[in-house]
Chain A
C-alpha cells in the first residue's frame, strides 16, 4: 500500500467520449503530479501541482485538463482523445516539490 490510490485501474474510451481519472493521496503531501508512461518511451511529466496551484504544464494538449480541488485529490479530465494517447497514466505525490515521490498504481487507458 503506497498511500496513493487511482481509479479506475483500466479504462477504454472512444475518441468522442469524456472521462475523468481520479487520484487520491493519504500521505498529507503538498505536491501532486500526473505522468504519462507509454511503451518504449521515457516517463513524461504532464502536470505539477503544489498547494493546489498548478506550477508546471509541459506543453500538454488541451484535450487533457487537470483539476486539483484540494491537496489530497487530483483529477485528469479527458475529452476527444486520440489513439496515441493510449498509455499508463500515473499519479504521484510528494511532501513538497523536489522531495521523493510516491506513486499510485496507474490507470491503463486505451483509446479506440
Chain B
C-alpha cells in the first residue's frame, strides 16, 4: 500500500541555519504530495503542496520539489527562525491508488530552532 517515510527527529538547529527534512514515499498511482506543520498546541496546517512530478511547492520561505525518479519530496528552508519550531508532516494522497479515500501522513519530524 501507499506509505510515507520521514527522517527521524528531533532536529535541533541554530537560528539562520539551513533546514532539510527528508521525505520519501511509496505509491501505486500518481499522488499529490503535501507538507503540513503543527505548532505547539495547534492543529496541522497545510504548508505547501505539489500535484505532479517536478512541481515545486513553496510557502513562507519553505520549498519542496516533487521528484518522481527518487520518489522524494524533501522540505528545505534557507534560514530558519525560532518561530519555525514545530512538527512537520509529509503526506500524500493517491486518488488512483490504495489510499483513494484519504491522505497518508508520515510520522512527523520535530524541529527546534535555538537562538
Contact = CB atoms under 8 A, between A and B. Distances in A.
Given A42-B105, A42-B108, A43-B108, A97 B100 contact: yes
A94 to B, nearest CB: 8
Contacts of B95: 97-98
For the side of the interface on B, what is the size category? 20 to 34
- Interface secondary structure of A, over-half rule: strand
Q: Output the residue of A2, A94, A97, A98 with the most chain B CB within 10 A.
A: A98
Nearest to B34: A100
Given A43-B89, A43-B108, A56 B43 contact: no
B107 A48 contact: no
B14 to A, nearest CB: 26
A55 interface: yes
B93 A48 contact: no
Nearest to A96: B95
B50 to A, nearest CB: 11
B63 interface: no
Given A48-B101, A98-B95, A105 B107 contact: no
B59 interface: no
B102 interface: yes
B44 interface: yes
Interface string B3-41: 000000000000000000000000000001010100001
- 7 A-B pairs with least C-beta separation: A103-B43, A98-B93, A98-B95, A103-B44, A42-B107, A97-B101, A105-B43
Interface of B: 32, 34, 36, 41-46, 49, 89, 93-95, 99-103, 105-108
